Amino acid sequence: MEITKKRTFVSHVKNTLVYMVFFLPVHYSGQISTDLDTIKIKEVVISRNKPDTEASGYKKTKIDSSTLVNYSNRNLSDMLSENTDIYIKSYGMGGTSTVAFRGTTASHTIIDWNGININSPMLGQSDLSLFPVGLVDDVNIYFGGASMLLNNGGIGGTINLETAPVWNKETVISLNSGIGSFGSYSELLKVKTGNNKFQTVTKAFLQGSENDFRYLNTQSIQSRITETRTNNQVSQRGFVQEFYYKNSENLLSARFWYQSADRNLSHPIGIPDQGEKQFDQSLRTMLNYDRVVGKSNFSLTSAWVMDRMNYFNHVDTIDSRNLSKMLTLKAGFENPIGDFTKLKIVLDEESNVINSVNYTHKTTRNTASASAIIEWNKARVGTTILIREILDRQTLLIPDFSAALQLRLINAQEYYIKANLSRNSKIPTMNDLFYGSGGNPDLKNEYSLIYEISYEMNQKISVPLRLKYNLTFFRYAIDDMIQWQPGEQIYWTAENIKKVISSGAESSLSVDYKYNHLNATIKAGYILTLAKYGESKYKNDNSEGKQLMYVPVNQANASLRMGYKSFYTSWVSSFTGTRYTATDNSAFLNGYFINNVMAGMKLPLKSSSVDINFNVENLFNINYQSIANYPLPGRYYNIKILFQFIK
Amino acid sequence: MKTLIKTALLFLLVVSCIKDPKLPNISYTMGGGVILLDEGNYRSGNGSLSFYSYDSSKIYNDLFSSANGRPLGDVPNSVLLKDTKAYIVVNNSGKIEVIDPSTFVSKATIENLKSPRNMAILSDTKAYVTSLSSDSVAIINLTSNTVSGYINMHKTSESIIVAGSKVFISNWAGGKEVMVINFANDTVVDSIQVGAEPESMVFDRNGRLWVLCNGGYARKNNAELYEINAATNRIEEKYIFPTIDDSPTCLNIDSFGQTLYFIDKGVMRMDIGSPSLPTGPIIEQGGGQYYYKLAINPLNGDILVTDALDFAQQGYLYIYSYRGDFVSKQKAGIIPGSMCFNLTINSQTN
């Protein structure tokens, strides 16, 4: 039984430090890239003035390229949940899936596309199940304060999906086909061609699934019966076109991304099917111009994003049609001041237009911000100071800031102490403000003070062996958190109600071994999140001091990846602890431990290659739920074949 | 006095919660008490059943799952007692659980209902069930515990109440009518135009039907209270709530059919002969409280009101005497909602 009430919660965690030591670390450590890479991705610089390039004192990680290749025919939600300890909440295969960091919420997480926020302005969040990994070239994760280097509002963090050209004179055509259990299939075609001045990249994908997996009906009349998921089909398609042009001083890029998804939404266990359907459609375009003059950099970006989301429920007769349009203009300027200091100025302007049957009329919003970032780096010390002023709907907010310090402990060696203190504001979503019944135009912005300190090392122990370790402690004090709740009216309204204190630790360890034809990487990680409801105004409220709903206290993961000549294999385990489903912690979902194994081989042919691999997901056939009553599949399989042709 | 007792008994029947003649076989149900449905969260399947025992002055939670080894379902909305059976209408599970009210063991499950809300028992073999999202009222065969037919009202339905051969059904969500049905032949015979979103109804001692119209979700109309002659289906009186923010719910009446109760940010009380709406609550709702559902003890007039707090944690059942004095506070399940008294004559306390 997934939900069991009245369990007295006994914390396993007596001593964080003990855990830190024994249950060593995690995180897809960036630079460790094994020879598993099926596509050689060369080091490229899209633009020299990306605002985040060197900023010292922050926690950022990068998903390694081999992982991106292995998940190229899957979605971002699967990739992040199996390879990072960012917390993913999923309504099941193909269903809506959201991401949260460190006890904050999905709307405190920003999904960026090349530095531009593409979260739905209505919901303030993104559905990660709609992002095929194969469409992006890099995934960078900015934790806590680091997120402010890109945007405001990502109190928990920002995930930046990047696309970048490879400036060489060759044509690469790759076709990635996958089939798997429950009638799933995927096709991803990429064509890249150009020279050292011009590049064009075209990507197209098509994927779908019946998703008719077996699950345990935890609410059934006969105990422990398994049933088949119905009305759960997914079908997605998309097209991406990118053009890049550069000369010695200028870089121009144009990007276009269209995709749509038709989904039938299966019912929660114990509830008759309601004939729910959802149609998502997105069109994202971006123009970017970068210019280098002497030591100065300028950049201009404009992005226009349209999202359509239509939801239909047959039983409750809901026909919800929503269309949002978002125009973003971003200008950056970067200039050195003296030998050690660099100044960056970023201006950002975003306007939203919403057409929704749930709003009383067509609704617009305009938000602008100006940021100044000063970086100072000398010898073993680096500092970053950021100040940001936001103008939201003609009102200036209290300025946000971030200050970071980084110390290199030993000269020329990668041992660091990093610390930062930030104040980050999150302006309310359009739904929070304007939803027809319950939207509250008088809402204040949420804000959080974020404290973070980490120790990081990346050290070659011997010729074949490299060790990487990170230990981070964080503390968030979130105030005026927006929550929908019953109020004066018959319907629920959005209010600045809760205070939340979230503190915890993340630790990750990665050991990389390379010798002759053999390479191996072992990673292990543990994350502790103590996210508590703060003081309540009300005497009867039993949520005070309790763990937030759907925030696991404990998460851990471990993986082993090995490669020998053309063979490669991996074993990935992840553990998600108990999550409460009531604010007074009177009900919860059990934790789960999921294992995935994969084996494959890459056969180089003349000017092309074939890479084939076989995956077993949820090896031990565990019954589990990420959201109460939305079952996730037991053991399932998929096969992927990647043809790559280079000329 | 005799008339008074008769009326009281009549209302026990109308409110459909009558005393259980059989001695229950579970100790805490022995002295009688209140079956309380904890709705749980919509689509979370965590609805549950609580029982407040007047004998021990204690509440017992999660009784359905303890007795049956499975959860009650998603959003149990209403409960009705008939002889040795209690009918629990589980809205978003589309079913009715037929349980033994003394052991809470499920005897049958009536399935394939579309968003069922409230039930009225018309005879030993027949009942009607209203529907929030369909245009039809379901006809239930109580012998086979199956849906035997539908009455298409071309409107959604909510509150349901029986008087003689007539059944009055309110058209709540987005509606403004009370439909009148002849249950002998299952046909709509009349409709009465009332205010926006008629949510709850009771009968008084004079045979008047009182209809509380909530005013609607969008708050475009003021809430209204109607007094209707149930014999002629004519509106006798209409009371308009003073502000657009008044959003009254849960109209109840005491067993004498004399005093109306409802929730409007507090518990309000009104005599049926009153020329105007009450101006203030007899039980105030405090900060952070959300008074959700109301019930009046037919034997001693106790006022029972549930508090759903933030709707995401275990709420409370508050018991006040008929004078409005605090008696007891009990911790129930998540979103404590509808109640039904299962009393024996000697069981009342205080």
Average pLDDT over residues A224-248: 93
The one-letter amino acid at A81: S
List CB contacts (< 8 A) between A224 and chain B. Answer: none
A109-113/A157-162 β-pairing? parallel
Q: Which amino acid makes up residue A163? A: T
**Nearest-neighbour CA in chain B from A315: distance (Å):** 6
**Shortest CA gap A541–chain B (Å):** 7
Residue B347 — pLDDT band, cuts 50, 70, 90?
very low
The residue among A598, A539, A532 whose CA lies nearest residue A571 is A598
3-state secondary structure of B150: strand
Confidence (pLDDT) at A281: 97
Length of chain B: 350
Burial of A516 (0-12, 13-18, 19+ CB in 10 A): exposed
Residue contact B313–A486, C-beta within 8 A: no
Residue closest to A92 by CA, chosen among A217, A267, A224: A267
CB contact under 8 A, B94 and A271: yes
Which residues of chain B have a CB within 8 Å of the CB of A2? none
Q: What 3-state DSSP class applies to A431?
A: helix
- Give the residue on B whose Cα is nearest the Cα of A484: B310
**Closest to A54 measured CA to CA, from A297, A247, A289:** A297
Q: Which pLDDT does position B27 carry in this prediction?
A: 59
Asked if the model's pLDDT at residue B201 lies above 70, the reply is yes
In B, minimum Cα distance to A317 occurs at B133
pLDDT at B272: 96
DSSP conformation letters of A173-204: EEEEEEEETTTEEEEEEEEEEE-SSEEEEEEE
Would you call A582 and B74 a contact, using CB atoms and an 8 Å cutoff?
no
DSSP category for residue A592: E
* pLDDT higher than 80, residue B340: yes
Conformation bin of residue A349: beta by default, left when phi > 0, alpha when psi is -120 to 50: beta
Cβ atoms of residues B49 and B57 within 8 Å: no
- The three-state secondary structure class of B142 is coil
The token pair that represents A566 in the structure block: 């053309």
Q: Is the pLDDT of residue A5 over 80?
A: no
Place of tokens 């009536």: B110
Q: Give Rg (Cα) of chain B.
A: 19
* B308 CB within 8 Å of a chain A CB: yes
Q: Which residues from B are below 8 Å from A542, CB to CB?
A: 309, 313-314
pLDDT of the residue at B29: 67
Place of tokens 């269209």: A258
Average pLDDT over residues B300-323: 93
Residues of B in contact with A490 (CB under 8 A): 214-215, 217, 219, 247, 249
pLDDT of B311 reads: 86
Lowest mean pLDDT among A193-197, B157-161, B267-271, B344-348: B344-348
pLDDT in tens, B37-78: 999 988 888 999 999 998 888 999 999 999 998 899 999 999
* Whether A271 and B69 lie within 8 Å, measured CB to CB: no
A322 pLDDT exceeds 70? yes
Name the least confident of A13-27, A139-153, A325-339, A499-513.
Answer: A13-27
Q: What is the pLDDT of residues A588-612, one digit of tens each?
A: 999 999 999 999 999 988 889 999 9
Question: So what's the pLDDT on residue B309?
Answer: 87
pLDDT of residue A21: 31
Half-sphere exposure of A489 (CA within 13 A, CB side): 19
CB-based contact (8 Å) between B173 and chain A?
no
A221/B214 CB distance under 8 A: no
Per-residue pLDDT at A484: 82
Give the burial class of A490: count Cβ atoms within 10 A of its Cβ; 0-12 exposed, 13-18 middle, 19 or more buried.
Answer: buried
The Cα diameter of chain A in Å comes to: 76
Fill in the amino acid letter for A125: Q
Task: Provide the percentage of residues in chain B whose pLDDT is more than 70.
Answer: 89
- CA–chain centroid gap for A647, Å, is 34
Instruction: Report the residue from A315, A490, A537 with minimal CB separation from B288.
Output: A537
Report the SS3 class of residue B6: helix
* Residue of B41, B46, B197 to mutate for A, most A C-beta atoms under 10 A: B46
Identify the pLDDT of residue A4.
Answer: 33
Residue whose pair of structure tokens reads 């596309």 in the numeric block: A113
Region for B154 from its dihedrals, namely left if φ exceeds 0, alpha if ψ lies in -120 to 50, beta otherwise: left
- In whole angstroms, what is the distance from residue B267 CA to residue B305 CA? 8
Complex prediction ipTM: 0.83
Number of residues assigned to chain A: 647
Chain B residues with beta carbon closer than 8 angstroms to that of A3: 45-46, 71
Task: Give the pair of three-digit tokens for residue A501.
Answer: 């204190």
For the record, the structure tokens of B263 come out as: 């929730």
How far CA A104 is from CA of A111, A356, A477, A552, in Å, comes to 15, 27, 10, 11
pLDDT at A488 over 80: no
Spatial distance between the Cα atoms of A151 and A399, rounded to a whole number of angstroms:
14
Query: Would you call B184 exposed, middle or buried from its count of C-beta atoms within 10 A (0-12, 13-18, 19+)?
Result: exposed
CA distance B93 to chain A (A): 4
The pLDDT score that the predictor gives to residue B172 is: 87
Query: pLDDT tier at B28 (50, 70, 90 boundaries)?
Result: low
B220 inside 8 A of chain A by CB: no
Average pLDDT over residues A251-272: 93
Residue type, B58: K
**Interface residue of A5, A492, A543 to substitute, partner B, most B CBs within 10 Å:** A5
Nearest residue, CB atoms, B312 vs list A316, A536, A549: A549
CA A103/CA A549 separation, integer angstroms:
9
Q: CA separation (Å) from A286 to A237, A240, A243, A327, A329?
A: 20, 12, 11, 10, 10
Query: Closest-CA residue in chain B for A538?
Result: B288
Determine whether the interchain pair B45/A270 forms a contact, defined as Cβ–Cβ distance below 8 Å.
Answer: yes
CB A375 within 8 A of CB A384: yes
**Looking at the DSSP assignment, which residues form a beta bridge with residue A205?**
A188, A238
Cα torsion angle, A490, A495, A499, A501, sign: positive
Distance CA A108, CA B34 (A): 43
CB contact under 8 A, A586 and B334: yes
Residues of A in Cβ contact (< 8 Å) with B44: 268, 581, 628-629
Q: Which pair of structure tokens corresponds to residue A578?
A: 């108990």
Q: CA torsion sign, B63 to B65 to B67 to B72?
A: positive
Q: Is there a contact between A316 and B44 if contact means CB atoms under 8 Å apart?
A: no
What beta strand segments (E) does A441-553 contain?
A: 446-460, 465-486, 492-515, 518-533
Whether residue A86 contacts residue A330, with contact meaning beta carbons closer than 8 Å, is answered with no
Phi, psi of A156 (to 5 degrees): -75, -45
Looking at residue B239, its pLDDT comes to 97
B308 CB burial (10 A radius; 0-12, 13-18, 19+): buried
**Which chain A residues have a beta carbon less than 8 Å from that of B286?**
538-540
Q: What is the pLDDT of residue A594?
A: 94
Interface with B, mutate which of A319, A536, A540 (most B CBs under 10 A) = A540
A2-646: CATH number = 2.40.170.20
DSSP state, A552?
Answer: -
pLDDT recorded at residue A40: 37
- Rounded distance between C-alpha atoms, residue A254 and residue A236, angstroms: 24
Q: Does B92 touch chain A (CB under 8 A)?
A: yes
**Chain A residue closest to B310 (CA)?**
A485
Contact state of A489 with B219 under an 8 Å Cβ cutoff: yes
Residue A50 pLDDT greater than 70, yes or no: no
In chain A, % of residues over pLDDT 70 = 90
Work out the angle at residue A534's Cα, subtended by the Cα atoms of residues B336 and A628, and round it to the nearest 5 degrees: 45
Average pLDDT over residues A245-251: 94
**C-alpha R_g of chain A:** 24
The pLDDT-based confidence of A6 (bands split at 50, 70, 90) is very low
Residues 6+ apart with CB under 8 A from A417: A406, A407, A409, A453, A454, A455, A456
Q: What are phi and psi of B342, to 5 degrees?
A: -125, 90
Tell me which of B121 and B10 has the higher pLDDT: B121
The tally of CA atoms less than 13 A away on the side-chain side of residue B189 is 14
At A560, the pLDDT band (50, 70, 90 cuts) reads very high
Asked if residue A517 lies in contact with residue A558, where contact means CB atoms within 8 angstroms, the answer is: no
Domain positions in chain A are 2-646
Distance of CA A177 to the CA centre of its chain: 24
User: Average pLDDT, whole number, for chain A?
Assistant: 87
Instruction: Determine which of A237-251, A255-269, A388-402, B5-19 has the lowest per-residue pLDDT on average.
Output: B5-19
Which of B114, B286, B308 is facing A315, going by the closest CB pair?
A: B114
Is residue A490 very low, low, confident or very high in pLDDT (cuts 50, 70, 90)? low
| Cβ pair B310:A583 closer than 8 A | yes
| Span B18-31, average pLDDT | 48
Question: Is the CB of residue A416 less than 8 Å from the CB of residue A455?
Answer: yes
Contact assignment for A542 to B313 by CB distance below 8 Å: yes
Distance CA B141, CA B124 (A): 9
Q: What is the pLDDT of residue A9?
A: 30
The string of pLDDT tens digits covering residues A561-571 is 999 999 999 99
What are the tens digits of pLDDT across the range A424-449? 999 999 999 998 878 889 999 999 99
Residues 6+ apart with CB under 8 A from A183: A208, A209, A210, A211, A212
Residue of B nearest to A437 (CA): B218
Q: Tell me what pLDDT residue A35 has.
A: 34
Rounded Cα distance between A143 and A450, Å, is 10
Q: Do B45 and A538 touch (CB under 8 A)?
A: no
Q: pLDDT (tens digit, 9 = 90+) per residue, A87-123?
A: 899 888 888 999 999 999 999 999 999 999 999 999 9
Whether the predicted pLDDT of A29 surpasses 70: no
Nearest C-alpha in B relative to A483: B310
Mean pLDDT of chain B: 88
pLDDT at A10: 29
* Distance between CA atoms of residues B131 and B139, nearest Å: 11
- Residue keyed to tokens 């779908």: A208
Q: Does B313 touch chain A (CB under 8 A)?
A: yes
Distance CA A309, CA A323 (A): 6
User: Residue A394 above 70 pLDDT?
Assistant: yes
Question: Are the beta carbons of A512 and A34 closer than 8 angstroms?
Answer: yes
A581, closest residue in chain B (CA to CA): B312
Average pLDDT of the residues in B326-342: 95
Q: Which two tokens stand for residue B260?
A: 């109306």
Maximum CA extent, chain B: 52
Count of pairs with CB atoms under 8 A, one residue in A, one in B: 114
Q: Which residues of B touch A218 (CB under 8 A)?
A: 71
Angle B14-B182-B146 from CA coordinates, rounded to 5°: 75
Chain A: closest CA distance from residue B47 (Å): 11
